[in-house]
Amino acid sequence: KHGDIVVVRHGDSLPVDGEVVSGEAWLDESMLTGESRPVAKRAGDKVYAATRNQDGMLKVRAQSVGSETQLAEIVRMVAAAQGSKAPIQRLADRISAVFVPAVTALALLTFALSGWLFGSWTTALIHAVAVLVIACPCALGLATPTAVMVGVGNGARRGILFRNAAALEQA
């Protein structure tokens, strides 16, 4: 909890955000900062949860724990960005809401007319399925949110956090 002193030995990951009260160590902060080289920490320095002690020992006074840590904030921001919809996604949703019922109706009409005109319901079914396959908006409905999620995920891996999906589209 806040104010507790935590001993962080070689190989341990820090469980809290806090301030070093004693000791010296080299911490791997790559999970938070993307910096691949360990960073030296000593008394008075700020340290963050989920960083890993590569060498040395520290005593850390806890300042933020659990959902209050920097890592938790980053996780919340990434989740919020992935959960929001970019304007292009909203447009795709609106188009799909009209397009899907229209294509379904066209396929049913094709089935009925083809069966009536050609007298073969097997041929009619093939024609109806062809209409569905050709007009399928699945690519639009799946590709747009997938592209946004991949963009947000790639940005997070590179240390770039998007507040929402619209910011990704504008970037």
Q: Verify that 9 and 70 share a domain, yes or no.
A: yes
The boundaries of the domain holding residue 146 are 141-170
The total number of structural domains that make up the chain: 3
3-state SS, one letter per residue, for the chain: CCCCEEEECCCCECCEEEEEEEEEEEEECHHHHCCCCCEEEECCCEECCCCEEEEEEEEEEEEEEHHHCHHHHHHHHHHHHHHCCCHHHHHHHHHHHHHHHHHHHHHHHHHHHHHHHHCCHHHHHHHHHHHHHHHCCHHHHHHHHHHHHHHHHHHHHCCCCCCCHHHHHHC
Q: Verify that 74 and 8 share a domain, yes or no.
A: yes
Q: Verify that 36 and 66 share a domain, yes or no.
A: yes
Q: Verify that 21 and 60 share a domain, yes or no.
A: yes
Q: Verify that 111 and 64 share a domain, yes or no.
A: no
Q: pLDDT digits over 74-118, tens only?
A: 888 877 777 777 777 778 788 888 888 998 999 999 999 999 999
Query: Cα–Cα distance between 41 and 35 in angstroms, integer?
Result: 14
Q: Verify that 130 and 147 share a domain, yes or no.
A: no
Q: Verify that 8 and 60 share a domain, yes or no.
A: yes
Model confidence at 139, in pLDDT bands (50, 70, 90)?
Answer: low
pTM for this model (two decimals):
0.51
What is the pLDDT at residue 142? Answer: 65
Model confidence at 58, in pLDDT bands (50, 70, 90)?
Answer: very high
Q: Verify that 102 and 50 share a domain, yes or no.
A: no
Average pLDDT across the chain, whole number: 85
> Long-range pairs for 96-104 at CB < 8 Å and ≥24 separation?
96/137, 96/140, 96/141, 99/135, 99/137, 100/137, 103/131, 103/132, 103/135, 103/136, 103/137, 104/132
